[in-house]
Homo-oligomer: A and B are copies of this chain.
Amino acid sequence: MTTLWDRSRQAAVQEILDTAVRLFAEQGYEQTTIAQIAREAGISQRSLFRYFGTKEDLVCGDQDALGELLKQTVEQQPADVSAWDALRAGFETILTANHTPERVLELSRLIFNTPSLHARYIEKRLNWQAQLVPVIQARLGATPGQGPDPRAKAIVATVFACVDTATELWAEHEGRLDLAHLYDQCLTAVRDGD
């Protein structure tokens, strides 16, 4: 309900984000300090850390919200949709909910070329995976044999592996290829190859 605060906060977040991404693209992630971003965005370091808990969150911060959307989409697929198709539907939803392709491409380049960012990005994605495993487990039904059932974990991990592979290829080719098609190619190679 506190409209003005929320709006100015939203604007501030957006401005800080734009400043940060611009500086990262210009001079590299490691070479850009928090002090510089704060200075150019006209804000104190202390406040910057209140908006974004870590430097890495300036790049991978909105992953958390996307993960929630992904989980909900997968959960809401009809019961007769297979685990594979449900996950694929989830990722298609995320694709459209994400930033513009140009922005995604810029962020992808940054992430794939900066080890510490890449690590952080993977960490966020591991959270997505952990959230999805019970959802997929429910869709798979009862355990076939005795012992723990690794199927859901394996399927989710594989789907993410293919998404990551497709995204990396897509970024390498400057976004000129169709991401969904690349993903399907990856999954075909894995499931129907040899």
Contact = CB atoms under 8 A, between A and B. Distances in A.
Contact of A123 (B82, B118, B155): B118
Interface extent on A, as a size class? 35 or more
A177 interface: yes
A190 B155 contact: yes
Interface in A45-94: 82-84
| Secondary structure type dominating chain A contacts | helix
A165 B157 contact: yes
A182 B150 contact: yes
A1 to B, nearest CB: 34
Interface of A: 82-84, 115-116, 118-120, 122-123, 126, 147-148, 150-151, 153-155, 157-158, 160-162, 164-166, 168-169, 172-173, 177, 182, 185-187, 189-191, 193-194
